[in-house]
Amino acid sequence: MKVLLAEDDELTRQGLAEVLATEGYEVTQVADGQAALESFRSARPEFVCLDIMMPGQSGFDVCRAIRAADADIPIIFISAKSEEIDKVVGFELGADDFIVKPFGVREVVARIRAVTRRCYASHAAEAPRSFEMAGLRVVPTELRAYRGETGIELSLRDVRILELFHRRAGEVLDRNAIFNHCWGEDYFPNSRTLDQHISQLRKRIERDPKSPRIIRTVHGAGYRFEG
């Protein structure tokens, strides 16, 4: 899923981009309003994160222009401007959410996932249906899995991983196959990235993470879901 991130403060922009990338989004970063509009037209993102105070055109100006071209694309304002009037203006221009700086990573992740769910909901006919994996029901449109009535929050990347293993049940998937599908072919991973992600995912989805049934390690070869 493509995200356009427009933020003039480099540290904030890089931090947000890292959070989004970790969640599994393809991020286009820009530092001013004009570049944001140009990237919106060329990259065709599926949702947009906008700072308000940017060089050239403000986030409000960019939002207004984007809304004129696309009435449905989700837009989140991320800004240090916390006055009620700023939020009112943002929502009147068609923003879906408004995050005030400084913010915590968990807050950003929760709001981004909420936007993703709305994106899926707006394309319900195209969205993948739920599927079962060893007693776990995965619902991609919700970015959640369920074991009984208990819900488990998932990132976009978690969903991609589980979809891949479900679709190729019984196969041993090596690191390259998993990285290419779930991180992208242009990603150059750290040798421990996949193992760490699988370990954290197991803690949330497996009944017994030390004896997994959904994502099993095949030593020297990769991982497998037996089906």
Which amino acid is present at 18? E
Neighbours of 104 (CB within 10 A): 9
Q: What is the pLDDT of residue 224?
A: 97
**Domains along the chain?**
2-122 (3.40.50.2300), 131-224 (1.10.10.10)
This prediction's pTM: 0.81
- Residue 121 pLDDT: 67
**91-149 pLDDT per residue, tens:** 899 888 998 888 888 888 998 898 888 777 665 555 558 999 999 999 998 999 999 99
Q: What is the pLDDT of residues 74-90, one digit of tens each?
A: 999 988 877 788 888 88
Whether the bond between 45 and the residue before it is cis, its omega within 30 degrees of 0, is no
Helix (H, G, I), strand (E, B) or coil at 25: coil
The two beta strands, 216-218 and 222-224, are: antiparallel
pLDDT of residue 58: 93
pLDDT over 70 for what percent of the chain? 93
Q: Is the pLDDT confidence value at 73 over 80?
A: yes
The runs of H, that is alpha helices, within the chain are: 10-23, 33-43, 59-69, 84-92, 105-122, 156-167, 175-182, 193-205
Confidence of residue 184 (pLDDT cuts 50, 70, 90): confident
